Amino acid sequence: MLPGWYKDPEKWLELLSTIDQFKQYKITGKYFIQFTGFYFIVQAIVYLFFWQLFDWNRHLKKVNVANRAISHIANIQITNLFLLVSRLCFLFTVELHHTANGKFF
């Protein structure tokens, strides 16, 4: 079942006018790449606090030592990946914006 606003054409026109208003800011590719780098820094910070947010220490006491270590290592590696991508976005903004490989990335 679709929400009621989905069927209302006036709501669609209101949404489209909001999108047109947003287009006036003209966010360029370089700023979008830098915003992506900032986004990945925020994601890394969130991953660093996963242990406290979800009380993993209490939950992981039920599993064996190997599985507990694997979850620790996986969490650290995902955090490192997020930080690596954010560094790439900040250090190689121009290359990511102008080269074919960067546009694929």
Tens digits of residue pLDDT in 11-63: 666 666 666 655 565 567 788 888 989 999 999 999 888 888 888 888 888 88
Summarised one tens digit per residue, pLDDT across range 34-45 is: 898 999 999 999
**Which range marks the domain in which residue 99 is found?**
47-105
The structure tokens 């242990």 sit at: 51
pLDDT of 1 higher than 50: no
Look at the chain and report how many structural domains it folds into: 1
| Domain assignment present for 34 | no
- Quick check: 37 and 86 in contact, CB under 8 A? yes
| Inside any domain, residue 73 | yes
With respect to residue 14, please indicate whether it lies within any of the assigned structural domains: no
Is 10 part of a structural domain of the chain? Answer: no
Rounded CA separation 37/31 (Å): 10
Would residue 80 count as lying in a domain? yes
Rounded CA gap, 5 and 14, in Å? 11
Q: Tell me how far the alpha carbon of residue 97 is from its chain's centroid.
A: 18
